[in-house]
Amino acid sequence: MGKDYYKSLGVDKNASQDEIKKAFRKLAHEHHPDKKSGNEQKFKEINEAYQVLGDAQKKSKYDQYGSAFEHGQAGGGFQGFEGFRDFNGYTQGFDINMDDLGDIFGGIGDMFGFGGSRRSANRARRGGDIQVLLTLDFNEAVFGIEKEIGLNKTIKCDHCHGNLAEPGTKIENCQNCGGSGRVNNVQRTIFGSMQVQSVCPTCQGDGKKYTQKCTKCHGQGVIKDQVKIKVKIPAGIDEGESIRLSGQGEAGEKSGPAGDLYIKMRINPDKRFVREGYNITSKSTISFSQAVLGDKIEITTLDGTVKLKVPEGTHSGTVFKLKERGVPKLSGRGPFGTSQGKRGDHLVEVTINIPKNLSRRQKELLREFDNG
């Protein structure tokens, strides 16, 4: 069979792809040439083995023909580090994602732009979003109100105003990286000797050199503090709805932009009304004679008391509409939404109070009425 790739990786011939990959990663960590205990020859050997066994098609041919199968392929087989110069051949030969490469070869992920978390660790970072719950009374939600809320959050440092340096001290570009926050180094990788870009060790990616960092925020540009924010709650907002205040979340580190503040509404119920979208519903009880003869009754609405005409012969359960006596409608325009000048309706359901314990005379009158 020639070279025994299974022996090189220390796996059984029936090993799964996950087991092969796991064995490769372990040995690559152990024998990487950049490590003091590394072994370049061994490293090449395990890479050659993984290029074949890590590919299901190549593994099948290897199991059938042995390592000699490579000579029949266009471009030849794996030839140590030189075999990785063809990036297309590399992606086909290695069934491995860039996270694996980042774990195994350190800075190589940065070189190709896959090490974003490491690359931006010391650069400007957007602040986090904040979500708070605000409780409103029923009428406050209906007609809108301005509220003041208190938050404990990160804000821009009021001592250095976010420039990270102690006021009055000197700020210069880092001489090591020229103010870019990045430096170039030559690193030996599986591709050969290549230029790798990494975070500047002198300024830790800031690109600046401070005579003295801010004594209050310690060079972060932000501090924790208690702040109060006034919020305009739009008329017509409903239970569970939220409004977003852009830039009112946590302040960003290293002069990064602030996050957003999301305010979610919880609305206390009102015993008099039930809200259904932009409509208001309520119930009113009338007497038997009012239902039969008709009357004008007083109805409590969001705007106060109004008169409702109940026609004669009204049945229990009849619903009357008080037009545009409901909740103001939001247009959705602007940061908070604005009223369209229209409102929902107030729906009043009437129920008839059937009298009990009637006198003999009252019963006689009802029988006479029934008999027509």
Residue-by-residue pLDDT tens, the chain, 372 positions: 468 888 889 998 888 888 888 888 888 878 877 677 778 788 888 888 888 888 888 888 888 777 555 544 433 333 333 333 232 333 333 333 333 444 444 444 444 443 443 444 456 688 899 999 999 999 999 999 999 999 999 999 989 888 788 888 888 888 888 888 888 877 766 666 777 778 888 887 778 888 888 899 888 888 999 999 999 999 999 999 999 999 999 998 877 889 999 999 999 999 999 999 999 999 999 999 899 999 999 999 999 999 999 999 999 999 999 999 999 997 654 444 444 458 999 999 999 998 888 888 888 888 887 776
pLDDT of residue 183: 86
Q: What is the CATH number of domain 274-370?
A: 2.60.260.20
Range(s) of the chain covered by CATH 1.10.287.110? 5-96
**pLDDT value, residue 323:** 95
232: left (phi over 0), alpha (psi -120 to 50) or beta: beta
Domain with CATH 2.10.230.10 in the chain: 130-267
The letter for the amino acid at 137 is D
Note the pLDDT of residue 70.
53
Query: Residues 269, 141: contact at Cβ < 8 Å?
Result: no
CATH superfamily of 5-96: DnaJ domain (1.10.287.110)
Our CA angle for 349, 355, 358, nearest 5°, is 170
**This prediction's pTM:** 0.57
Confidence at residue 143, expressed as pLDDT on a 0 to 100 scale: 94
Residue ranges of the chain assigned to CATH 2.60.260.20: 274-370
- What homologous superfamily is domain 130-267 in, according to CATH? Heat shock protein DnaJ, cysteine-rich domain (2.10.230.10)
HEC letters along the chain: CCCCHHHHHCCCCCCCHHHHHHHHHHHHHHHCCCCCCCCHHHHHHHHHHHHHHCCHHHHHHHHHHCHHHHHHCCCCCCCHHHHHCCHHHHHHHCCCCHHHHHHHHCCHHHHCCCCHHHHCCCCCECCCCEEEEEEECHHHHHHCEEEEEEEEEEEECCCCCCCCECCCCCEEECCCCCCCCEEEEEEEECCEEEEEEEECCCCCCCCEEECCECCCCCCCCEEEEEEEEEEEECCCCCCCCEEEECCCCCCCECCCCCCCEEEEEEECCECCEEEECCEEEEEEEEEHHHHHHCEEEEEEECCEEEEEEECCCCCCCCEEEECCCCCEEECCCCCCCCEEEEECCEEEEEEEECCCCCCHHHHHHHHHHHCC
Position 134 scores a pLDDT of 96
Q: What angle do CA 48, 49, 54 make, to 5 degrees?
A: 110
CA dist 26 and 110 (Å) reads 21
CA neighbor of 225 nearest in space, from 167, 158, 165, 161: 158
| Cα maximum dimension of the chain | 119
The label of the residue with tokens 């205040």 reads 245
Q: How many CB atoms lie within 10 A of CB 336?
A: 17
